[in-house]
A and B are shown apart, each in its own frame.
Chain A
Amino acid sequence: MTELLDILANPAFWIATLRVATPLILGTLGVLLCERAGVLNLGIEGIMVAGAFTGWLTVYAGYGLWAGVLVAALTGAVFGLLHAWLTVGLALSQHVSGLGITLLATALSYYGYRVSFPKVNTPPTIEPFAPMEWLGVPILSAQTPLTLLALLLVPLLAWVLLRTPLGLAVRMVGENPQAAEGQGISVAATRTGSIVAGSALMGVAGSFLTLSAFNAFFFNMINGRGWICVALVVFASWLPGKALLGALLFAFFDALQLRLQQAGDAWLPYQVYLMLPYLLSILALVLVARKAAYPQALMKPYRKGER
């Protein structure tokens, strides 16, 4: 018990929590935007890998860190465009298209890494983002600008989605595409735009790992974080504010399990602690399922004139 209090009283714990949460916040906002427009995007796991890779490669090639973030966003957008073409243009199964994109993006990234660095055993490193010490705010000053970006995107996305005509259009094509079409909103264009923008966020989420949390690209570095984002969106009832809360809660347990492990409570195998965040995700899904307000048209393809 005192151990737990010691952990919670230590600012390093809260710094770690916010750091772990950052890619989850960005990724969850990306999934949320796609789903609000009615399209599930299971491509996130692969798009995060691709963003992590291309962002890192850009910086490694000598361009700036922000150029890396931009390239990661563009990478995400390109895969988003492919997903949009398959699911909106051709009305293929969103589940399958997303899984296909995850496989493709992951395979392309690993292939690209191996072609670029055929004989390298220790991954080449870059100089990552520095903490924002000039900010002078405890905990936040220890973070990099990408964390600040993620935190600022939460109210921005909430405002756009819930308070602007653009957001209304996105929500309408996700709830009732027929009605949206009747109002003169192009379902295809709105959905495509939402998927591309959401996927760009996923790319940035991936780049956080190589440009901020670590300084190199590793295989399996995304390691299910993308899938966690898909779960967090349901937990968040498709609201950006709750998405932030969910990501922080998840990161809290993730950071906590690491420290409990280190504190040496050897009576439980360390794998049990690693399971905690996943078990909690499932539990959260079960608890919110009853009142989950899925966007009504989620996963339903829309073809003009077809019902």
Chain B
Amino acid sequence: MRLEKRNHTSPAAYVLAPVSAVVFTLLVSALLVLWAGAPVGQTYALLLQGAFGSVFALTETLTRATPLILTGLAAAVAFRARLFNIGAEGQLYAGALAAVAVGGMHGGTGLEWSPYVLFPLMMLAAALAGAALLLGPALMKARLGVDEVVTTLLLNFIMLLLVSALLDGPMKDPLSMGWPQSVALQGDLELSKLVPQTRLHTGLLWAVSLAVMLWALLARTVPGFDIRAAGANARAAAFAGVPITPTVVLVALLSGGLAGLAGAIEVAGRTSYVTLDMSPGYGYSGIVIAMLAGLHPLGVIAAGTFVAGVLVGADSMSRAVGVPTYIADVIVATSLIAVLVAGLLTQYRVRWK
């Protein structure tokens, strides 16, 4: 088997590739549904209904999509520059902790800041905390050649242990009845609801606007060009005068900052305090979402909504027909691999000989 570069790719192929990948995924997953002894058609119908079938389902999906879009953007901008940031999970927690640390000054400790001052400070602190956690690995990669995949991954474990230590100690809510959770944010620092009586909050608007801003930055500005050039070929980019170290720092700030914001927005929009299980792996899912989106910031919005829909839909489907919720993770993982292969086939044709 060998691959031959296509001279021409029809525009239809770009649309057809992800669609056929999702169809393939659903066919493969159908076998697993059958194994669980459930009717395939009904299972998928319930999954779709549970994700998008009602106003409530849709708001739940979009609530779940909000942190996923942000971590997806974090992965997309880093991967564009070939900085393989696998540490968004830890950066998310760093952001959440920073948000509570700054926001927690409000009220109890005697400082009475206006929420209009404190809220931006809180978000800034979260973004900086996330960025700081990535800056170390990014500089170690640029200066010492330390593989960032491993260092950012290991920092996730360290960060979670740090959160655990802080929630057991200095940052523990004394009124939490012994649960490891932080003090709750004051109500005036929380994001308002987008749809009354649901959990959907204005964080979604943040996520979408940040996606548009990131797209504009990458597509329309000089630093955006530098990021893409450094990713395409670092040596050629350096030769052409792209400032490599500043670009790496910028990417770390953007990527870690977005992941940190994901944590702060989860706290301000949904949980109001930090717990050890506030993220069921949003940082890792962000990597999948970025890949599904072809690293395109606007595609991340669609991919994040798709993954959130599968996760939320699987929850309600599982309650109805008893197919384990892990089917959602199988669907997400399979579609990632299928999208990669489909994307490749738009660029290359396979010759069997």
Contact = CB atoms under 8 A, between A and B. Distances in A.
Interface in A185-237: 224, 227-228, 230-231, 234
A106 B329 contact: yes
B3 A90 contact: yes
A292 B84 CA distance: 19
B337 A100 contact: yes
A27 B307 CA distance: 31
A107 interface: yes
Contacts of B161: 271-272, 274-275, 278
Interface residues on B, range: 35 or more
Interface residues on A, range: 35 or more
Interface in A142-160: none
Nearest to B163: A271
B326 to A, nearest CB: 4
B340 A100 contact: yes
B26 interface: no
A111 B326 contact: yes
Interface in B26-52: 32, 35-36
Nearest to B161: A271
Given A281-B154, A282-B154, A289 B140 contact: yes
A246 B329 CA distance: 33
A95 B149 CA distance: 9
Interface string B299-316: 000000000000000000
Contacts of B144: 286, 289-290
A228 B36 CA distance: 34
Interface string A279-307: 10110011001101000000000011000
DSSP class of A's interface residues: helix, strand, loop or mixed?
helix
Contacts of B158: 275, 278-279
Nearest to A273: B161
A239 to B, nearest CB: 17
Given A92-B344, A274-B161, A275-B161, A227 B150 contact: yes
Contact of B154 (A106, A114, A118, A227): A227
B29 to A, nearest CB: 10
B204 interface: no
A230 B149 CA distance: 9
B165 A111 contact: no
A110 B146 contact: no
A97 B340 contact: yes
A103 interface: yes
Nearest to A227: B153
Contact of A275 (B35, B162, B334): B162
A234 B150 contact: yes
B322 interface: yes
A274 B35 CA distance: 39
A91 B3 contact: yes
Interface string B263-289: 000000000000000000000100110
A271 B168 contact: yes
Given A90-B344, A111-B330, A275-B161, A104 B337 contact: yes
Contacts of A286: 140, 144, 146
A285 B144 CA distance: 10
B222 to A, nearest CB: 27
Contacts of A108: 32, 330
Contacts of A90: 3, 341, 344
A8 interface: no
Contacts of B129: none
What are the 4 tightest A-B residue pairs by CB atom distance, in nearest-first order? Answer: A107-B329, A114-B324, A103-B333, A104-B333
Interface of B: 1-3, 32, 35-36, 84, 86, 140, 144-147, 149-151, 153-155, 157-158, 161-162, 164-165, 168-169, 284, 287-288, 291, 322, 324, 326-327, 329-330, 332-334, 336-337, 340-341, 344
27 contacts: A42-B149, A91-B3, A92-B341, A96-B340, A101-B337, A103-B288, A103-B333, A103-B336, A106-B329, A107-B329, A110-B329, A111-B330, A115-B36, A227-B154, A228-B154, A230-B149, A269-B165, A271-B162, A272-B165, A275-B162, A278-B157, A278-B158, A281-B150, A282-B154, A290-B145, A303-B3, A304-B2
Interface of A: 42, 82, 86, 89-93, 95-97, 99-101, 103-104, 106-108, 110-111, 114-115, 118, 224, 227-228, 230-231, 234, 269, 271-272, 274-275, 278-279, 281-282, 285-286, 289-290, 292, 303-304
